[in-house]
Homo-oligomer: A and B are copies of this chain.
Amino acid sequence: MIKGSVGTVETHHYTHPSPLLLESGETLSSVTIAYETYGSLNRDNGNAILLCHALSGDAHVAGYHKGEKRAGWWDSVVGPGKAFDTDRYFIICSNVIGGCKGSTGPSSMSPATGKPYGITFPVITVRDMVNAQKLLIDYLGIRRLYAVAGGSMGGMQVLQWTVNYPEMVKKAIVIAATGYSTPQQIAFNEVGRYAIISDPGWNGGNYYDRKSYDADSEGPSRGLSIARMVGHITYLSNESMHEKFGRALQGKDRIGFDFSTDFAVESYLHHQGDTFTKRFDANSYLYITKAIDYFDLTRDGSLAEGLRPAAAAFLVIAITSDWLYPPYQSQEIVTALAANNREVRYSEIRSNYGHDAFLLEAGQLNYIMGRFLSHSVVADVMTPDIPTIEEGTTIAVTARRMVTQGVNHLPVLSLDGHLVGIVTSWDIAKAVASNYLWLDEIMSRDVITAAPGEPIEDAAKRMEENAISALPVVNGNGNVIGLITSEAISNLIGRAGQ
């Protein structure tokens, strides 16, 4: 097994026993969902993470299919010790409906006709994709996802999850995405669709008997290739194309003064277009881009209104050089969530790669997402409603309180409930040794505390520096609301520092 890899994996298929009602009002009579999982569910099924793929992705997010050398599309961040740590989390990824990688889509057989749907397949939306994923999550016995994450169209699905199933999503990671498709994004998609349907090989969507996945066939491979070429330009930044190609010629010493390929960038684009036609269905391209165009979570023109149902803790990541889904669109999501008082963190990945950076910048992604997933705040792991003791009492009463409550730390409170000190079983021992009688004589008055909203790492560091094993958690009013212990941190967070 390759280090840090989930190793050899395979795709499973779940066929839902009943029809799926779509947003359009149509129903999909039979729904099969292709999916992969890595890692194990823990006892309470609380460690499941759903990853959502982008336009041309699939369920194969990490590891290797038997006999293949190419790893899954997000292998760089999924596996042991990576952000989506398969030693800790149960990772799920499924192919979207409408796709062509095992889930029901236009290339699937229509039960009604026994032939491929083609464009008789109903138009689907990102919400329909998410509803289909929900069927899979239910089937897997998961009540609540620890996290849902994805980039580009994957990020749209994440947002849709948090809005439609708010109680099911604890953490949400939205990368290089938007709360609604803009006219420029729609325009690029429409050019691609028009190229496909203008290709005579498309034949009104009926080309499956002509082996559309083969570029040598008579399917709409030229149209799909054009669509992919346009798309590919939008995934790269001007800078990265400069660095990668400049004005380098392709197999020539000088420009050819003809219409053969002159520049390396042209050759690269054609290669991207050609290989895409061998792995992707043109009709799926139509359906999925349409779903992207339809994506719009605003409500009455307000994204804050549209995101109001969301209850997850969010990490929103933008890419500095992404001009297809520019940072301002991520910032709009952040602003909308903040307007609803949702917990949200925003990070920008510094990258020249453009939109594609969400697949390429593994270092930054592992760091940012890893911290977000494992880093909880003190309030997440503190023990609430802890026993305390009032100042002015005797050591005997204090010791009895410890023993009956089964704790070896007691915060000492003033009569009006404020923290004035702390006493430990070790202090009791010293008191006994020195014949002290009153709590005031032994308690520590310089109490190191934690705030409920601070990252656990900060609290852990303070404990370590001061060689103490617990901190009272004090809110803004000076009241003790809980206790955070090193034991709880190590149990709940595990290997926090990666």
Show the binding face of A for B, using Cβ within 8 Å. 23-26, 119, 122-123, 180-184, 186-188, 190-191, 193-195, 197-200, 222-223, 225-226, 229-230, 233, 236, 238, 241-242, 244-247, 255, 257-259, 262-266, 269-270, 273, 286, 290, 293-294, 296, 323, 326
Residues of B contacting A296 in the complex (Cβ-Cβ under 8 angstroms): 247
Closest chain B residue to A234 by CB distance? Answer: B233
Q: Which residues of B contact A190 (CB under 8 A)?
A: 229, 263, 265-266, 269
Given contact pairs A182-B238, A263-B183, A255 touches B294 in the complex (Cβ within 8 A): yes
Pairwise interchain contact A238-B184, C-beta atoms closer than 8 A = yes
Q: Is there contact, CB below 8 Å, between B183 and A265?
A: yes
* Chain B neighbourhood of A247, CB < 8 A: 180-183, 186, 296
In the complex, the chain B residue whose C-beta lies closest to that of A247 is B296
Q: Is the CB of B293 within 8 A of A263?
A: yes
Cα distance A181–B246 when bound, in Å? 9
Count of identical protomers in the assembly: 2
Taking the closest CB of chain B, its distance from the CB of A372, in whole angstroms, is: 28
Nearest Cβ on chain B to A233's Cβ, whole angstroms: 5
* Minimum CB distance partner of A287 in chain B: B259
Q: A184-B238, A191-B226 are in contact. Are A258 and B323 (CB under 8 A)?
A: no
Contacts A247-B296, A269-B190, A290-B259 hold; do A233 and B184 have CB atoms under 8 A apart? yes
User: Which residues of chain B come closer than 8 Å to A293, judged between CB atoms?
Assistant: 262-263
What is the minimal beta-carbon distance from A456 to any residue of chain B, in angstroms? 40
- Chain B residues with CB under 8 Å of A241's CB are 182-184, 187
CA distance A137 to B394 in the complex (A): 107
B122 touches A257 (CB 8 A): yes
Is the pair A326, B194 in contact by a Cβ cutoff of 8 Å?
Answer: no
- The chain B residue sitting closest to A262, CB to CB, is B293
Q: Are A266's CB and B187's CB within 8 A? A: yes
Are B294 and A244 in contact (CB-based, < 8 A)?
no
Is A229 a contact partner of B191 (Cβ separation < 8 A)? yes
Q: Are B123 and A183 in contact (CB under 8 A)?
A: no
Closest-CB distance, A150 to chain B (whole angstroms): 22
Query: In the complex the two chains form, is A198's CB within 8 Å of B199's CB?
Result: yes
Q: Which 9 A-B pairs have the closest CB atoms?
A: A24-B257, A183-B265, A183-B241, A123-B257, A183-B245, A198-B222, A190-B266, A184-B238, A191-B229
Instruction: Kindly provide the distance from the CB of A291 to the nearest chain B CB, expressed in whole angstroms.
Output: 10
Q: Are the C-beta atoms of A244 and B183 separated by less than 8 Å?
A: yes
